Amino acid sequence: MLKKLVGASVPLLAAVTAFFFGAIMLVALGANPFEGFQAMLEGAFGSGERIATTAVRATPLILVGAGISIAFRARVINIGGESQIIAGALLSTVLALNAPDLPAILLVPLVLATGAVGGFLAGAVPGLLKAHAHVNEILSTIMLNLIMVQFMNYLLGGPLIDPLQTSAGTFIPQTERLSDNAALPTLVSGTRLHLGVPVAVLAAVAAFVLLWKTPLGFRLRAVGHNADAAKAAGINVKRHITYALAISGSFGGLAGSILVFGSEGQRMVTDGSAAGFTGSAGFNGIVAALFGGLHPLWTIPSAFLFGALLTGAVQLQRVLQVPASLAVTINGIVVLFVISSAKLRGYIEGRIADRVTESEEPPDDPGPLADVAIGSLDDPIQNPIDSSDGVV
């Protein structure tokens, strides 16, 4: 119980500490921190429209975070959220450009599924490199981010460019406006809340079900727990490493298609950088996953928190006339403390475990089956329902 309490309280304490340092920065700029945080709250939750905007900003973070959580359970690290978002967006955009007259009831699910396929393929590449060529997945996913940005710039500035841009001689890297049949339906009139929000939440729930309620999820967690033991048990480790990164990437690809077809402009546009299209969702999703303890379900409220931070930052800048970079800095401080909290949590939990071990008397005669019994509880291969991995 104490271990669970520590696990829940340390990230929260990290966030509070981060906002405390943010308040110090506001004071240094001559602003009232209470007015600043009030402005952020109003900007994120001050009206139904603002709440909807917060939810929309959180949507890609939920998806990327849930995907990262899947990869983490197989002990592989996916830093390629940006490339997977771009891949999903490009592939679904190509589909929408070539099938604009399909009815919405067909085209909407098709573009979402195509986006997931694009992300799956972008995740499978570093997965195959990791599994068969022992290429570090951190390096390969980062490099793929750079490659996909250049590929996006080439397509949006050439084969997929809006013909109106060419005729006007402006050459802004963007596609033509896509078919309205592919647009994600608005759920609440007068707001930006669209179908992508519940889709993202359901996808995160599906990630949880996949990991803890299916044989594939059990094998992924087994590989992450002990690859050698998993191999000895007959699990194809290389195949499941590839699966982990590919499935993780499919969530990012789905986020990419939602960014395109849930946008007001209904087109894919960039300023030449990855963030110009993704809004850094691939990296912010990592933060949301870490803050959620790398658990798909806890990623949902975590992503909403960071979505509120991003939305509220606009109001903070408008009300207090502070630099836009201040919101980015506060976000960075939150990231720093959240990541540090993981190390602190491990240290505190270790100390608690040591105290418990010291206070317990060993049994007089544990018996010949004691080691087997203890192992069956601690080893996720023997005991697939591990309470430390499930919902607390």
What CATH number should be reported for the domain holding residue 309? 1.10.3470
> Has residue 344 been placed in a domain?
no
> Has residue 357 been placed in a domain?
no
What are the per-10-residue average pLDDT scores of the chain (392 residues)?
A: 59 77 84 86 89 95 97 95 96 95 95 97 97 95 96 92 81 88 92 95 98 96 95 96 98 97 86 88 90 91 90 84 75 74 66 64 46 38 40 37
pLDDT score for 357: 66
Q: What angle do CA 124, 126, 127 make, to 5 degrees?
A: 55
> Has residue 180 been placed in a domain?
yes
pLDDT score for 108: 96
Cα 43 to Cα 82: distance, rounded to the nearest angstrom: 26
pLDDT score for 385: 37
pLDDT score for 57: 94
Question: What is the count of structural domains for the chain?
Answer: 1
pLDDT score for 380: 41
> Has residue 238 been placed in a domain?
yes
* Residue 281 domain boundaries: 32-321
pLDDT score for 142: 96
> Has residue 165 been placed in a domain?
yes
pLDDT score for 2: 55
pLDDT score for 297: 96
> Has residue 59 been placed in a domain?
yes
